[in-house]
Each structure stands twice: as structure tokens, then as C-alpha cells.
């Protein structure tokens, strides 16, 4: 996302040096209150961190000096890394608007309950204003004057609370016009005074009704501030606000604001594969192959972290890292292992394996979890006082943005990320530094991430600027908290006058020119007889399972800075034969349907069609799979025996590969399907 403020950096720097001319008197007085008595270019100790101070001053400059006609007509955006303290920035802006501009109302929008609960805790009874000393005595506004109402909670009181509260916290959906309560909430807001709007996790905003609601609010908005750590969404859209400040992972590493991420991957020597008849469970053969030959077999990437043996091995690596983190914690807090699964089936299996085999107290959180378990997830870092705290939590992308448990010290990836946004959000859960009694602000901290080379996440580690130390022997040991290299230098804009402002696209422009597409092959024609082609597909009932992985060691590499690469000894793993975890028939049934739906969307897109057609493809796949693998296709999965469900689950990778390989089949389903 383009930084719209870059072209003003020279003028902004001169403005600060010259004493901030042009500011309102109360704004100048408030900034003076926040400034360090020793250096008026820095914030007073205990108030704002340096990057928070930079964010705050740019908001003031954009609002009072440049004005909305120059920048921020639809709001300004602050792109601040996870763990960078966006809440403190929001609080400082609120205090300034109240003190200098007499703004009496502030609306904070958030995407989910986790973010809402975090903000509620920070703003309840003005806690953040007290903690950061953001309100001067002469302001005639104290922390208790910022009365909070949280929509959808026991603290909400309908129209009266919306009208009387200083800070309104809620989800954007609670202002949508498509529901009765949303209409009522928005009506109450629009019948009150003007307000400042804070759109937290703003990357969630591009959606038709979201945009319509923000536009409806616009006439009452004094200033809109968007905050996010990942402004670019998975769908390629960005918020409509103007980015005026960016504080990246590299910047935060240089300043010691976040933990240093360290990635660990197994260094694999040989792999044992077992070939089994998926219908009968009869073992056909076992072979051991070198790691270099694995690719020829075309194994699914997730098998390397979800088959029983490799999953236990990855967990052993992660738990070794957890032991190291516990030694570094020295009893001051309980480090947490965060396991990220791709579906509920894998999540249940992972949680059972940790609980029953490794004897690690583990919390499972999926969309089916009740409020009690969700609350436990939010309070994981506080569980140490309970005597027997959770040491691990397993989630299916439930815990992303807003879930801030600084005690997360190890992340185990049991899924492949295809999205830059989701990948960064998940890793961000482990970047927040632990700040508890006895932990010095300068104490080195790391977040250990256990990955697998077959998941092909190098693109994600490149975002964090991975570096390696080569030629380290297996027996060489390093203590990351003592041996971390110097942090990377911060990237600063040296010559802002050279920044080019990209002009907007002229909507009236039409280009009727012709382009040479070279040897571009047109897509195949949709199959009219797609049903016959689908029925004609034959499947090999042989399922391949990874039953043993021999490691040379575990490779650890620091992300950011000069970095290093260390090879550790492989963990001892003498696993008993056979599965340790046994998920329920219902869980397997649901996992099959979820996987078919994902498969339908993927096949539709690969066929050059919109993902909106996944419903038609899903219906065709569902009937196809029932007919091919179930004894009673009409009974469906709900009435199938367990061995049949296991058979279907093992055949799904073949289904996707073979169905997708028939030219025009998916296009035919979409054009002529039921």
C-alpha cells in the first residue's frame, strides 16, 4: 500500500524543527505536555514509544496543517506491526481531540469479539489513559470522564448509552442497515454529536456493506483513523483511507519492540512410506527412500505435518523449543505453544496427541467452542496463577488478529499458508513481547516457529528478512537470548522529495489497442457430457502414509538482521505403532464436507471461473464421492460406517487431482450443473 505522507516528510521535519507553527494553541500545549523535558522532539518517558509518537504527530500534522482536502478525505491509516501498541496511539489521539478540539464522542470499530474484548479491557474506566499518563491536569478531563459502552455486551444500554457514552465500542456489523439493531444503533449515532472514528484492524473493511456504512457515517465523522498491521487483504483490496505512517517488522526488530522470530525446520535424511488399501486397511508394502527422491511421489504437502508420525515429530521439536522458552522464563511466566491447524479434524487430532501422548495440558479452540473456552484462550497468559496452566492451545485460524497473548513463545504450523495476510497475522500472535514483573524491557526475547520445508513458506520468511549462519555442526549449541546478532538497521526515507505521487486512474480512459498474447492457449470448451466423464474416472485405492521420518537434525534460522543458522540434534521419538488420537465420526464427516467445499472453490478458480460457482461444483463432487466410495450413496455420509468415512478421506487428494485433470469438466459442471 502506497504511503501518501512520504511526499510531505521534508515539510513535516522542518515543521517540527521550527516549533510546529500553525497549530491550534491547545494542540501545541498538549504536545508540549507529552514531550520529553530533555528533548522536545521525543515523547516523555512512560507515555508513547518513539514510533507511537511519530504516528501521533503525523496524525496531528495531517489534520491541522494539511487538512482533509490535501490528505485523508476518507481517513488516514497507520500501518503498525503487531505488538507495536496501536491502542496507545488511539488513546493519545482521543485525548488530543478532547483537549484541543473538544470532541466529546469516539467510536471504535473492531472485526471480532477477541479484538473487542482487548479494547474493552484497555478503555474500561480510562485504564489506558492512566497507564500512559495521557491526560494533563489542566485539561479538565480525567480518565473516568471517558465513559465506555460496548455494543452486544452486558454494559450496553441501548439508545441512552449510545447517546451518553464518550467511547462506543462495537463491531461494524452492529451498524449495518440490513438488520434491525444495526439500523437502531446507527440512527442513535447519527442523532448525536459529531465523533471521531477509529477503525481497528482496518484491512477487514473492504466489503460493500462495510463501505456503505462508513459512507453513511461520514457526515458526522470529525476524523477517521484506520489502524492495521496488514493493510493488504487476501483478496487484493486495501482500505480506502490514506496511509500516513508505516512501522514494519524490520523497524520493530531494530527498536527491540517485538520478539525476534526464529524458524525451526527438520533436516530430513530418509522417509519410510507405507502403502495401504484404503478400503480394507490391508498393508501392501513399505519402502524407505532418500529425502531427495520424495518429490517424485507427489505427496500432499500437509501430509508432512498431519500424518501420525511426522505430526508427532514436529510436536517433539516444538515441545523442545517450549522447554527452552520455559528455562528462559525462569518461572516469571508460562510460555505457550500455539498450534495452527487447517481444519477441525486436524485440530482435534493435534489436541488429543498433545494431551494424551505428550501429557501437555492443551486447549482446543474451533468455531464450535463455547464462550468459556474462548475466555480461557483470551486469558492463557494469566493461567500461571492457577497452579496447572495450559501450556498449549490448538486453533483453526480462530486466533489471528486481536488475540494478543504475549506468552506465546512457540508456534507450530500444521498447515500451509497460501495467503500473505493470514501468514503474517498468525506469526504476529507470537511477536508481542512479554512485559511482566521481573522482565526487563531490554531482555532479548524470541518467538520459536516450527515449520516444515515441504510447506514451502520461504516467501513468508522472506517478509521477515531471513538470514542464515552456515556450516554449524550438530553438536554446536547457541543460546538465542544471548547470541542474537545486532538488529537490522531501520529503513528511513532520506530524500522524500524524490517520491513520486502515483496519479489515480482516469475512469474515462479506454484502451482499444491490441496485444500480442503469444502462444496463449484458450481454455477448453465446457464438457456437455460432464456427468459421463465424471463417472468414468477410476481411482487407485492405495493410500500412502508417512510412517517414519529419520532426521539429521533440526535447522534453526533467525529472521531479520544478519541472522544465523544452527543445526540441533534431532529429538528422540520412540512412538508406539498406530494412531494415538481418534477423532469422532461426526468430526470426520464434517471434515470431509469442509474439504469438498474447499476443493470445489479451488477447482472452479483453476478452471478460470469465479469462486462464486463453488456451490455447483460442490454438489457434483458430493454426489460423485458418494457414488464412488460409499456402499449406500443415497444414505450419505451421516449413515456411512467409519471405515467408509476413512476411505473417503484418504481418497480426496486423488479426487481433486483426477477431476481437475479432465479438460472442460469443471466448466461443464458450472455451465450445465444442477
Q: For residue 12, which of 37, 43, 38, 41 has the smallest C-alpha distance? A: 41
Residue ending a domain, among 568, 592, 626, is 568
256-265, 362-371, 497-506, 620-629 — which is least confidently predicted? Answer: 497-506
User: Mean pLDDT across the stretch 213-217?
Assistant: 88
pLDDT higher for 146 or 253?
A: 146
561 and 616 inside one domain: no
8 A C-beta contact, residue 16 and residue 41: yes
Q: Write the CB contacts of 284 (distance below 8 Å, at least 6 apart in sequence).
A: 275, 276, 277, 542
CATH number at residue 475: 3.40.50.300
pLDDT score, position 47? 95
Residue 305 pLDDT > 60? yes
Q: Write the CB contacts of 109 (distance below 8 Å, at least 6 apart in sequence).
A: 170, 171, 172, 175, 197, 198, 199, 200
Residue 476 pLDDT > 70? no
Residue 48 pLDDT > 80? yes
pLDDT score, position 378? 73
Give the confidence band of 387 by pLDDT, cuts at 50, 70, 90: low
pLDDT score, position 464? 73
User: Mean pLDDT across the stretch 385-403?
Assistant: 74
Q: Find the angle CA(492)-CA(494)-CA(499) to the nearest 5 degrees.
A: 100
DSSP assignment of 103-136: ---EEEEESSHHHHHHHHHHHGGGHHHHHTT-S-
Strand runs labelled E in 427-530: 446-450
Q: How far is CA 216 from CA 67, 112, 175, 308, in A?
A: 21, 21, 10, 53
Task: Write out pLDDT tens, residues 112-152.
Answer: 777 787 888 889 999 999 999 999 999 888 999 999 998 87
Give the confidence band of 470 by pLDDT, cuts at 50, 70, 90: very low
Sign of CA dihedral 649, 655, 660, 666: negative
- Cα(659)–Cα(538) distance, integer angstroms: 10
560 and 642 inside one domain: no
CB atoms within 10 A of CB 192: 18
Task: Write out pLDDT tens, residues 5-42.
Answer: 999 999 999 999 999 999 999 999 999 999 999 998 99
pLDDT score, position 572? 66
User: Mean pLDDT across the stretch 186-198?
Assistant: 92
216 and 341 inside one domain: no
Mean pLDDT of all residues in the chain? 83
592 and 559 inside one domain: no
Task: Write out pLDDT tens, residues 596-647.
Answer: 998 999 999 898 888 888 999 999 999 999 999 998 888 888 888 889 999 9
Give the confidence band of 469 by pLDDT, cuts at 50, 70, 90: very low
> How many separate helices (H) and strands (E) can be counted in the chain?
22, 16
User: Mean pLDDT across the stretch 168-177?
Assistant: 87
144 and 212 inside one domain: yes
Give the confidence band of 154 by pLDDT, cuts at 50, 70, 90: low
559 and 588 inside one domain: no
- 221 φ, ψ to 5°? -85, 120
Q: How far is CA 587 from CA 309, 348, 594, 633, 649, in A?
A: 21, 8, 10, 20, 12
User: Mean pLDDT across the stretch 203-216?
Assistant: 75
Residues facing residue 432 across a β-bridge: 258
Q: How far is CA 69 from CA 75, 196, 322, 420, in A?
A: 11, 17, 52, 33
Residue 674 pLDDT > 50? yes
Q: Write the CB contacts of 460 (distance below 8 Å, at least 6 apart in sequence).
A: 417, 420, 423, 424, 427
Q: Is residue 418 part of a domain?
A: yes
8 A C-beta contact, residue 443 and residue 479: no
Cell of 514: 491490441
Residue 362 pLDDT > 70? yes
562 and 604 inside one domain: no
Tell me which DSSP letter residue 609 carries.
S
Q: Is residue 508 part of a domain?
A: no
Residue ending a domain, among 213, 247, 281, is 247
97-101, 294-298, 406-410, 630-634 — which is least confidently predicted? Answer: 294-298
pLDDT score, position 616? 92
Cell of 149: 459502552
User: Mean pLDDT across the stretch 331-349?
Assistant: 90
Which helix (H) or strand (E) covers residue 9, if one does? Answer: helix 9-17
pLDDT score, position 51? 94
Cell of 171: 463491531
CB atoms within 10 A of CB 95: 25
Using a pLDDT cut of 90, give the percent of the chain over it: 37
Domain that holds residue 319: 260-267+300-485+555-568
Task: Write out pLDDT tens, residues 552-598.
Answer: 778 877 776 555 566 667 676 665 555 667 778 888 888 899 889 98
201 and 317 inside one domain: no
User: Mean pLDDT across the stretch 323-327?
Assistant: 91
Cell of 296: 517424485
Q: Write the CB contacts of 442 (distance below 8 Å, at least 6 apart in sequence).
A: 256
Which helix (H) or strand (E) covers residue 650, if one does? Answer: helix 642-660
Distance of CA 374 to the CA centre of its chain: 17
Q: Write the CB contacts of 86 (distance below 8 Å, at least 6 apart in sequence).
A: 78, 80, 200, 227, 229
pLDDT score, position 374? 75
443 and 564 inside one domain: yes
pLDDT score, position 383? 62
238 and 320 inside one domain: no
Residue ending a domain, among 568, 592, 617, is 568
CB atoms within 10 A of CB 129: 24
83-92, 306-315, 519-528, 641-650 — which is least confidently predicted? Answer: 519-528
User: Mean pLDDT across the stretch 481-510?
Assistant: 55
Q: Is residue 191 part of a domain?
A: yes
Residue 291 pLDDT > 60? yes
For residue 527, the SS3 value is coil
Q: Is residue 539 part of a domain?
A: no
- Cα(185)–Cα(178) distance, integer angstroms: 12
338 and 475 inside one domain: yes
The count of structural domains within the chain is: 3
Q: Is residue 544 part of a domain?
A: no
Q: How far is CA 161 from CA 50, 64, 222, 442, 553, in A?
A: 36, 31, 21, 43, 60
333 and 469 inside one domain: yes
Q: Is residue 154 part of a domain?
A: yes
Amino acid at each position: 500500500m502506497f504511503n501518501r505522507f512520504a511526499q510531505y516528510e521534508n515539510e513535516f521535519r522542518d515543521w517540527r524543527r521550527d516549533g510546529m507553527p500553525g497549530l491550534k494553541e491547545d494542540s501545541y500545549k498538549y504536545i508540549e505536555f507529552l514531550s520529553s523535558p530533555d528533548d522536545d522532539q521525543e515523547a516523555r518517558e512512560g507515555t508513547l514509544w518513539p514510533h507511537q509518537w511519530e504516528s501521533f504527530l503525523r496524525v496531528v500534522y495531517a489534520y491541522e496543517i494539511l487538512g482533509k482536502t490535501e490528505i485523508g478525505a476518507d481517513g488516514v491509516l497507520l500501518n503498525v506491526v503487531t505488538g507495536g501498541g496501536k491502542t496507545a496511539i488511539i488513546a493519545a489521539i482521543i485525548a488530543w481531540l478532547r483537549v484541543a478540539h473538544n470532541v466529546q464522542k469516539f467510536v471504535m470499530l473492531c472485526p471480532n469479539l477477541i479484538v473487542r474484548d482487548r479494547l474493552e479491557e484497555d478503555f474500561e474506566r480510562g485504564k489506558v489513559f492512566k497507564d500512559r499518563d495521557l491526560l494533563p491536569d489542566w485539561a479538565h478531563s480525567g480518565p473516568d470522564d471517558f465513559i465506555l459502552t460496548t455494543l452486544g455486551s452486558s454494559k450496553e444500554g441501548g439508545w441512552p448509552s449510545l447517546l451518553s457514552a464518550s467511547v462506543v465500542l462495537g463491531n461494524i456489523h452492529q451498524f449495518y442497515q440490513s438488520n434491525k439493531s444495526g439500523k437502531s444503533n446507527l440512527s442513535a449515532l447519527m442523532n448525536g454529536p459529531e465523533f471521531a472514528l477509529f477503525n481497528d484492524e482496518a484491512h477487514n473493511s473492504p466489503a460493500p456493506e462495510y463501505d456503505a456504512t462508513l459512507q453513511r457515517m461520514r457526515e458526522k465523522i470529525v476524523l477517521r483513523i484506520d489502524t492495521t498491521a496488514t493493510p493488504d487483504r487476501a483478496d487484493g483490496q486495501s482500505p480506502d483511507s490514506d496511509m500516513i505512517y508505516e512501522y514494519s517488522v524490520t523497524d520493530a526488530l531494530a527498536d527491540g519492540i517485538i520478539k525476534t522470530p526464529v524458524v525451526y525446520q527438520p533436516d530430513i535424511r530418509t522417509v519410510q512410506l507405507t502403502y495401504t488399501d484404503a478400503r480394507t486397511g490391508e498393508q501392501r508394502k513399505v519402502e524407505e527412500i532418500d529425502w531427495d527422491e520424495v518429490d517424485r511421489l507427489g505427496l500432499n504437502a500437509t501430509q508432512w505435518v498431519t500424518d501420525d508420525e511426522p505430526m508427532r515429530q514436529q510436536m517433539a521439536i516444538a515441545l523442545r523449543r517450549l522447554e527452552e522458552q520455559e528455562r528462559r522464563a525462569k518461572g516469571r511466566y508460562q510460555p505457550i505453544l500455539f498450534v495452527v491447524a487447517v481444519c477441525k479434524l486436524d485440530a482435534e487430532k493435534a489436541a488429543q496427541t498433545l494431551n494424551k501422548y505428550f501429557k501437555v495440558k492443551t486447549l482446543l479452540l474451533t468455531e464450535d467452542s463455547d464462550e468459556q473456552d474462548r475466555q480461557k484462550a483470551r486469558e492463557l497468559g494469566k493461567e500461571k496463577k492457577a497452579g496447572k496452566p495450559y501450556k498449549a492451545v490448538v486453533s483453526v485460524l480462530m486466533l489471528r488478529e486481536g488475540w494478543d497473548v504475549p506468552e506465546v513463545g512457540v508456534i507450530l504450523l500444521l498447515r500451509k499458508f497460501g495467503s500473505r495476510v493470514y501468514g503474517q497475522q498468525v506469526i504476529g500472535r507470537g511477536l508481542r513481547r512479554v512485559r511482566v514483573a521481573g522482565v526487563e524491557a531490554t531482555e532479548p526475547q524470541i518467538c520459536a516457529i516450527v515449520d516444515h520445508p515441504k510447506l514451502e513458506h520461504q516467501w513468508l520468511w522472506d517478509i521477515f528478512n531471513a538470514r542464515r549462519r552456515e556450516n554449524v555442526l550438530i553438536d554446536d549449541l547457541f543460546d538465542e537470548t544471548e547470541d542474537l546478532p545486532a538488529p537490522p538497521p531501520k529503513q528511513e526515507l532520506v530524500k522524500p522529495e524524490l517520491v513520486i505521487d502515483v496519479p489515480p486512474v482516469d475512469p474515462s480512459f479506454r484502451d482499444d489497442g491490441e496485444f500480442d498474447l503469444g502462444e496463449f492457449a484458450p481454455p477448453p470448451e465446457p464438457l456437455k457430457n460432464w456427468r459421463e466423464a465424471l463417472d468414468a474416472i477410476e481411482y487407485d485405492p492405495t493410500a500412502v502414509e508417512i510412517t517414519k521420518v529419520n532426521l539429521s537434525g533440526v535447522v534453526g534460522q533467525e529472521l531479520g538482521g544478519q541472522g544465523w543458522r544452527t543445526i540441533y540434534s534431532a529429538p528422540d521419538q520412540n512412538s508406539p505403532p498406530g494412531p494415538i488420537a481418534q477423532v469422532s465420526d461426526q468430526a470426520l464427516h464434517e471434515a470431509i464436507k469442509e474439504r469438498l467445499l474447499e476443493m470445489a472453490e479451488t477447482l472452479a478458480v483453476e478452471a478460470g471461473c469465479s469462486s462464486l460457482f463453488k456451490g455447483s461444483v460442490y454438489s457434483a463432487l458430493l454426489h460423485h464421492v458418494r457414488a464412488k466410495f460409499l456402499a449406500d450413496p443415497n444414505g450419505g455420509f451421516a449413515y456411512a460406517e467409519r471405515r467408509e468415512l476413512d476411505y473417503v478421506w484418504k481418497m480426496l487428494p486423488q479426487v481433486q487431482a483426477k477431476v481437475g485433470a479432465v479438460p472442460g469438466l469443471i466448466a461443464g459442471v458450472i455451465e450445465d450443473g444442477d
